Amino acid sequence: MTNLLLLSSKAVGWLVALLVILILAAGGVITWLCIKRYREKNAKSADAVIGQWNLSGGENIDVATMEKRDKTKRIIKDVFVYIFLTLCAVFAFLPFYWMVITSLKTETEYRLSVPTFFPHQFQWKNYWMIFHQVTSASGSNATFVQILINTIVVGLLSTILGVIITIVTAYALARMNFKGKNALFALMLATMMIPGELYTVSNYITVAKLHWNNTYTVLILPFLVSVYYIYLLRNNFMQIPNSLYQAAKVDGLSDFGYLIKVMVPLTAPTLVSITLLKFIGTWNSYIWPRLVNGNEAWQMITNWVTGGFVDRLQPDGFSLYGGGTESLDTLKMAAVCMVSLPLLILFIFCRKYIMRGVSKSGTKG
């Protein structure tokens, strides 16, 4: 039975092919069922069936006026949409699944020549090992709490300040007129093309000369301005019709008031996206904190989680495989999983704000 789980056998190929065929077949069956049900009932009750599969959630559409043939077509198309999405979801999920199961394998199993689809033996201690990392490094005064505080302080501050700067800058670039605006914008865009690796050394020297090493400042300041998001938000702002601006001007609203009262609510989904992405970026930052803040007490969660990845011999004598100096990939994967989990929760939380859309705030169009 375990051999079935090995990647070597041709059965796996068939298994995957079967999976695809199954998805397709399920789609076919659903199509057939829907059509059958539709034909059995009269046109009016069929609306209910099709209504559930309707596109773009337009419940108010007068479906009854549609032709019968169109409806059959619609059902088929809907099924295709689901098949397409399912295949994409499998494509997106498979590597993630692999990461999760790898994080639960023993290093010996991971190093098997033929990888296994499912762990023979769940090694939950991989996660335990990562949690016990800092307690063993007594050279610094870093504790998990300290590192968590660092990450939250830096994450919140750089997200809030970053989003404020992004909004203000994007607004000026989108709506205000001042000399050299276009040149400034072109210059900003041009900097996106230059690899950040080029800055790293120069910026390191800058902060070292300012004696900013081992501070929060050095983690926040250099990444506050993100041209990517300024550009995105500027595009969004530009889509808001000019007439609104004129109207606001007539109402005696200042630029700033217009920005806060009209623009920000209208672009709320994008702003939530930017906030989320910005926070994920800070959460995942790793190379720069490690370089500038050598003292572990000033590092971030990802530094902490990825520190070493080796099978440390714990003070209480515990170790996974008797201790060692080589870094273990299973631990690395466990670390990545642990870093991802809070972000996933954050995403699920933010999703409804991103996806709610502007339909409720109305004035768009």
Between 35 and 245, CB nearer to another protein = 245
Q: Identify which of residues 1 and 58 has a Cβ nearer to another protein in the complex.
A: 58
DSSP 182: H
How distant is the alpha carbon of residue 228 from its chain centre?
15
- Does residue 182 belong to the site contacting another protein (CB under 8 A)? yes
Q: Establish if 176 lies at the interface with another protein (CB under 8 A).
A: yes
Paired tokens of 359: 């339909």
Smallest distance, another protein to C-beta of residue 259, A: 9
Helix (H, G, I), strand (E, B) or coil at 327: strand
Q: In angstroms, what is the minimal distance from the CB of 171 to another protein?
A: 6
Instruction: Report phi then psi at 38, rounded to 5.
Output: -65, -40
User: The tokens of 109 are what?
Assistant: 């199993």
Binders in 209-228 for another protein, by CB under 8 A: 209-217, 220-222, 224-225, 228
Which residue has tokens 């004598």?
317
Taking the least distance from each CB to another protein, the nearer of 7 and 43 is 7
Question: What's the min distance (Å) between Cβ of 99 and another protein?
Answer: 6
Count CB atoms within 10 A of the CB of residue 216. Answer: 15
Q: Kindly state the smallest distance separating residue 175's Cβ from another protein, in Å.
A: 9
Can you tell me the distance from the alpha carbon of 200 to that of 287, in angstroms, rounded to the nearest whole number? 10
- Residues 20-59 touching another protein, rule: CB under 8 A, are 52-58
Of 277-306, which residues contact another protein (CB under 8 A)?
A: 277, 280, 284, 290-291, 293-298
SS3 (DSSP) at 282:
helix
| Span of 23-31, 35-43, 119-127, 203-211 interacting with another protein by CB under 8 A | 203-211
Tokens of 233: 């938000």
Nearer to another protein, 35 or 313 (CB): 313
Return the DSSP state at 222.
G
Of 278, 297, 300, 279, nearest in space to 289 by CA: 300
Nearer to another protein (CB atom), residue 44 or residue 362: 362
Question: Would you give the distance in Å from CA 195 to the centre of its chain?
Answer: 22
CA–CA distance, 42 with 25 (Å, rounded to integer)? 27
Which residues within the stretch 57-96 sit at the binding site for another protein (CB under 8 A)?
A: 57-58, 60-62, 77-78, 81-82, 84-85, 88-89, 91-96
Number of residues that bind another protein (CB under 8 A): 167
- State which residue, 119 or 222, has the beta carbon closest to another protein: 222
Least distance to another protein, CB of residue 2, Å: 14
Residues 322-341 that bind another protein (CB under 8 A): 322-327, 329, 332-333, 336, 339-340
Instruction: Please list the alpha-helical segments (H only) found in 104-216.
Output: 107-110, 125-131, 133-136, 144-175, 181-192, 197-209
Interacting residue with another protein among 120, 208, 318, 349 (CB under 8 A): 208
Report the alpha-carbon distance of residue 30 to residue 19 in Å, rounded.
16
Residue 118 interacting with another protein (CB under 8 A): no
Distance of closest approach, residue 32 Cβ to another protein, in angstroms: 18
